[in-house]
Structure 1
């Protein structure tokens, strides 16, 4: 008999404190992750990159999840979830500090190394915290709890592009293609070096905050997960989890989901920049704002009016519809954003850009819905299954890079057709894939 995950791995009275502590970590996830959306167009200028090269920022950050997920699950098995969180924060701190020599030298390869180390630290944290949220309460409301974490995560994603734009992207008119083309080679290198060095102070502050969080988590009364066990030796063998189809299909679904989420959040700045949007550095905030709306709807509706499976189905259908809007809308029309948000005073954007931002609404409930469906009935295999699901985050590395290649070859707007088969996979998992639970 397979092991079963306890419905209440922690006592109910202890759930609030872990939620608060994990919520702080989810804010860190969002701050570090969605900084990439503003960092990509910044490094495109500072390191003189084409669109494909600029999206290597997303590639190396998210490929760390794929490369390091299984080793990090072994680390959690040995040291526990709480200690794993501390180790993850330490690795992230090292990654933030690596930005200092990268900014001083304006070497793109050093930026990529720093991003990989940051991604490795986040891999440890994600592998520990996502099953933690699933296990600290009833499974039927797991998507609601993850939605709470999502609001914190995407709230940070909403804030960070605005901060980055105000602090780092001021005076960017001096770095336009036309302005840079008029400079001599030496003047150009000096200007780009000065631009790159704007990153030093923010990443020094980030490293200090991460050090503080390490101490906070270390001394916090965060309880260790206690999962039901039996004598099944499969719990000691990571290959055992490969016999659970809902986990493998869940990993593929998350691969597609994270890919479309990163494309919607990280390429919107490049897309808007290409269409002449002046505030391109803050466009990621549009996507994050709609994701926050989606998470709020998830908290209100799951499980009272929507099951987790129904939320996943609705997300997939909305994603397909909004992607069609990105592909088919005229790039010179501002009508949609003027109608929907013009009354708020938020600057209008071209309709395809706004549809791309609306994908944040479609994406919001995919991650919260997939995790509890995929981890059903895994018991002591939960950490290993979580690592496999975390490996699906590699979609954030592969699919944006593939989008960059398509955009470089045939145009940014039409390259978004790549999203359609991804939402097709999410639709399949909602309808059929999560139900395939028998062992292979």
Structure 2
């Protein structure tokens, strides 16, 4: 997912930096950041079923992978902004990359110990680093050139995030998933030493991919360190002004926007986190094939974003949001009740229709807020904590359903109904009496 920041509204690149080709290399590096955090997020769909197997977890416990990442986002939302203000873009980006690399390296001792708690700690550190990166990279890409082309640059950078939605699951399937999924009965029949060796071997498969990820993060940090980045000049005339953080919620359309975003992010993470389990149980695929289908799901998500962006030129954003929400909810219902390969096709369709929801809800939520826009943006970003909470709820539903995955999709179905309300009514701006 790509976060949106309005920090660029008060900053511009130094005019000297606009001369020549000085902006090309910095922009390429920024695009690398979008790809890297996309890889981190899109490996989670592989990591959840894999660690569930390697660490012998139930479904709810396995979703703590999401909780660790998105809780880090929630807790780092404000500190990351403070860090950006104090240190600037370059130092903040290097700090975020370094922190994420440390978290990725910690996967190696976590795998050696087959410790789920250690994996979660590693993911939390990665999440903190990625939160800093997103806080810095989104506004920096927006001001890295001609202000009139800021939206184009953001969309181009976000496209690399979308590419990671396909590459991440593909890499995870090839290098992490073993294709072996022994039942509890099979494991119980194993001698203790053989069982321990099997679980250690499963856990060990994450070491190379996350070790390589750590190396790439360090390399990109080094490239940022040696690259002279254009300076950012603050041109805001209202440096110390802005709306009240909690008072901003008096705007009903913002309040409902925060709620809708909470449920949307929760729905997106639920679908991707349990995709492989759904493909195995509902679609009848083996683990490896399910992983490859998750990569295709990423392609549908990216395609949906491009088509949705084009449709927004002809259809009003609230209407398109409502239409997509209805279609996503219907596909959820079919996925719950259906059987066979078309259940997986439904998940592809859900990914397609989810694609425009985050930026559309964000834009509608902060519309017309004036000086309240900045605190409103913070609320919208913090609402992604839904990705930390709702997948755990879905995992509990699956566990209570005796490990049957399809009933669990009632959670994203409910989420899409909340988003539908926002697109149909909740987005409407109501004037307040001063």
TM range (shorter): 0.7 to 0.9
Label 1:130 to 1:379 Cα distance change in 2 as closer, same or farther (>3 A).
Answer: farther
For residue 283 of structure 1, give the secondary structure of its aligned residue in structure 2: helix
Does residue 292 of the first structure (1) align with residue 305 of the second (2)?
A: no
Label 1:144 to 1:277 Cα distance change in 2 as closer, same or farther (>3 A).
Answer: farther
Match of 1:70 in 2: 78
Mapped to 1, the partners of 2:325 and 2:234 lie a distance apart of: 32
Mapped to 2, the partners of 1:150 and 1:282 lie a distance apart of: 22
Mapped to 1, the partners of 2:425 and 2:121 lie a distance apart of: 40
Q: Is the 8 A contact 2:11 2:233 kept in 1?
A: no
Question: 1:203: Cα distance to partner?
Answer: 1.5
Label 1:105 to 1:395 Cα distance change in 2 as closer, same or farther (>3 A).
Answer: same
User: What are structure 2's unaligned runs of at least 5 residues?
Assistant: 1-5
Q: 2:331 aligns with which of 309, 322, 342?
A: 322
Match of 2:66 in 1: 58
Within 5 Å, which residues of 2 pair with 1:353-432? 353-376=344-367, 384-410=375-401, 411-432=404-425
Q: Is the 8 A contact 1:253 1:429 kept in 2?
A: yes
Aligned Cα root-mean-square deviation (Å) = 3.4
Q: Is the 8 A contact 1:147 1:295 kept in 2?
A: no
User: What are structure 1's unaligned runs of at least 5 residues?
Assistant: 334-349
Mapped to 2, the partners of 1:28 and 1:185 lie a distance apart of: 39
Match of 1:436 in 2: 429
Label 1:219 to 1:311 Cα distance change in 2 as closer, same or farther (>3 A).
Answer: farther
Mapped to 1, the partners of 2:69 and 2:201 lie a distance apart of: 24
Mapped to 1, the partners of 2:7 and 2:384 lie a distance apart of: 25
1:314-354: CA deviation from partner (whole Å, max 9, x where unpaired):
3323222222221232x1x3xxxxxxxxxxxxxxxx22222
Q: 2:343 aligns with which of 352, 367, 370?
A: 352
Does residue 161 of the first structure (1) align with residue 169 of the second (2)?
A: yes
Label 1:361 to 1:68 Cα distance change in 2 as closer, same or farther (>3 A).
Answer: same
Q: 2:213 aligns with which of 179, 182, 206?
A: 206
Within 5 Å, which residues of 2 pair with 1:252-291? 252-275=259-282, 276-278=284-286, 279-291=289-301
Match of 1:36 in 2: 44
Does residue 24 of the first structure (1) align with residue 47 of the second (2)?
A: no
Does residue 127 of the first structure (1) align with residue 138 of the second (2)?
A: no
Question: 1:128: Cα distance to partner?
Answer: 2.7
Q: Is the 8 A contact 2:243 2:373 kept in 1?
A: no
Match of 1:336 in 2: none
Question: 1:259: Cα distance to partner?
Answer: 0.9
For residue 177 of structure 2, give the secondary structure of its aligned residue in structure 1: coil
Match of 1:188 in 2: 195
Within 5 Å, which residues of 2 pair with 1:71-86? 71-86=79-94
Match of 2:98 in 1: 90
Label 1:6 to 1:202 Cα distance change in 2 as closer, same or farther (>3 A).
Answer: closer
Which stretch has the larger CA shift, 40-49 or 141-150?
A: 141-150
Question: 1:236: Cα distance to partner?
Answer: 8.9
Mapped to 1, the partners of 2:319 and 2:145 lie a distance apart of: 20
Mapped to 1, the partners of 2:281 and 2:164 lie a distance apart of: 26
Question: 1:262: Cα distance to partner?
Answer: 0.9
Question: 1:138: Cα distance to partner?
Answer: 10
Q: Is the 8 A contact 2:11 2:235 kept in 1?
A: no
Does residue 112 of the first structure (1) align with residue 120 of the second (2)?
A: yes
Match of 2:204 in 1: 197
The count of residues paired between Structure 1 and Structure 2 equals 418
- Give the TM-score normalised by the residue count of structure 1: 0.83
Label 1:6 to 1:49 Cα distance change in 2 as closer, same or farther (>3 A).
Answer: closer
Question: 1:68: Cα distance to partner?
Answer: 2.1
1:77-110: CA deviation from partner (whole Å, max 9, x where unpaired):
2223443222211211111011111011001110
For residue 80 of structure 1, give the secondary structure of its aligned residue in structure 2: helix
For residue 173 of structure 1, give the secondary structure of its aligned residue in structure 2: coil
Mapped to 1, the partners of 2:397 and 2:147 lie a distance apart of: 40
1:186-213: CA deviation from partner (whole Å, max 9, x where unpaired):
2211221122122222211111110111
Mapped to 1, the partners of 2:416 and 2:201 lie a distance apart of: 42
Mapped to 2, the partners of 1:377 and 1:110 lie a distance apart of: 45
Q: Is the 8 A contact 1:264 1:287 kept in 2?
A: no
Which stretch has the larger CA shift, 98-107 or 57-66?
A: 57-66
